A and B are shown apart, each in its own frame.
Chain A
Amino acid sequence: MKQAKRLIKAPVFALMILSSTACVTSTVQDARTGLTGINEGESVVIMAKSYHLGNETEMKYIRCIEDNLARGSKGLRVIPHDEFIDSLFPWFEPRTAPAETKNLAKLMDRPGVADKIAEQGIRYIIWLDGDTDRVAGGGSLSCAAGPGGGGCFGFAWWQNDADYDASVWDLEGLESAGTVSADVSGTSFMPALVIPLPFIARTQSKACKTLADQLHSFIVQDESV
């Protein structure tokens, strides 16, 4: 009996492992325009470029980058973007947020802005631009159920591309420190022979982890990463 249970468990476990993986390719690049570094007590804030400019960066992606940058013993101090925007209302609303670093000096001269930024120890603002889109898909999969049971048959696939750019603004020098970009492409499959077996490509998660790791090393200038 025990052996029978093991025989059932083994393929289920294998299916779970297989189902969690699919084909993902990623490219990450950075272009540095200034020296970076971060001191104790200094923090970063992750912002999405304005939707008034057509940007559609997902809220969950911003939170993912925040979480990944803050994670671990070497994690950065990250100010939640909602908290930052509220504390500086109305200067970082989609309509009013600075679009270029040359506007930073004037913004910092506004009453209370420099004080609020200093209060939170914000050294870098990281502006995210980009999103995850389904770019292709195909196949056919159909399911049916009857009194004797049900099942699915067919094969479906789809490809998601996650392209994100991060512009790093250094509030110490009021200038751009550079950009980091991550392009990730993932193809998911779902063959079905009675039971559908999803092989899901975690495209956005991969883009998040890749970009956050590169941003971390970009900011702390850790060449070993």
Chain B
Amino acid sequence: MSIGLRMPENFENFVHEEKVYGREEWSINLGRSNAAFFEQLFGHMFADVTVLGPNDDPQLLPLDALIEPSIDAFEFSTPDQSKTDAFAVWIRYRLRVYDREGKLVSNWPVSAYGKSLTTKMNSSDALERAAILAMRDAAALMIMKFDNVTRISALADQPGTESEPADASQTDEEEDTEVQTTALEGSQDEAG
């Protein structure tokens, strides 16, 4: 299957800045790790992946589908806030999948969570580790559920369909008995 991957500009140099009320100011620089993450992930998942530049027109390329990842939200908590020894990071990615006609066929929010204890690490290292674990969490979820949720394999070698976009807004919260997905601490915290 031939996939086009179009990443937002901020994936090349993602910086999250936040001032924790009454405390320090945090700046988390993930650099181009999000871009590298999706290139590597989809490179393993699909036979042929073309990374599109901002001026590339996907309809002029022989693609079965176009995937546009983005970040809806990036949040973290410090040990001071959570009253634990851990940093926690929540990332909510959004994956939009388009068919070869350019029609949106799936819109999937992926919530990921990572946590790292501060022991023997400085704060910066522990926070970075929590962010990496959150990205791994997202990758694991995407590998396991991408096709079930987005039905992308149905777009292979087919003309554009007339079907409605798959609303996947709840699917990452569904329990997957096959992979023993557990009650997510991150999801609970997000809900709270």
A residues at B contact (CB < 8 Å):
50-54, 56, 58-60, 89-91, 93-100, 103, 106
Contact = CB atoms under 8 A, between A and B. Distances in A.
> Nearest 10 CB-CB pairs, A to B?
A90-B140, A93-B140, A52-B182, A51-B115, A96-B179, A99-B180, A90-B143, A103-B180, A96-B140, A95-B137
A96 B183 contact: no
A96 B115 contact: no
Contacts of A53: 182-183
B86 interface: yes
Residue of A50, A51, A89, A98 with most chain B CB atoms under a 10 A cut-off: A51
A56 B117 contact: yes
Contacts of B186: 52
Interface string B2-38: 0000000000000000000000000000000000000
Given A52-B183, A96-B180, A58 B117 contact: yes
A96 B139 CA distance: 11
Given A95-B137, A97-B180, 6 more contacts: A52-B113, A58-B117, A89-B136, A93-B136, A94-B137, A106-B178
A58 B120 CA distance: 10
Contacts of A96: 140, 144, 179-181
B123 to A, nearest CB: 16
Contacts of A99: 180, 182
Given A52-B183, A53-B182, A94 B133 contact: yes
A51 B185 contact: yes
Nearest to A133: B85
B184 interface: yes
Contacts of A51: 115, 185
Given A56-B86, A90-B144, A95 B185 contact: no
Contacts of B185: 51-52, 54
Interface residues of chain A: helix, strand, loop or mixed (majority): loop
A95 B182 contact: yes
Interface in B97-111: none
30 contacts: A50-B182, A51-B115, A51-B185, A52-B182, A52-B183, A52-B184, A52-B186, A53-B182, A53-B183, A56-B85, A56-B117, A58-B117, A60-B120, A89-B140, A90-B139, A90-B143, A91-B179, A93-B136, A93-B140, A95-B113, A95-B137, A95-B179, A95-B181, A95-B182, A96-B180, A96-B181, A97-B180, A99-B180, A100-B180, A106-B178
B141 interface: yes
B73 to A, nearest CB: 18
B1 to A, nearest CB: 18
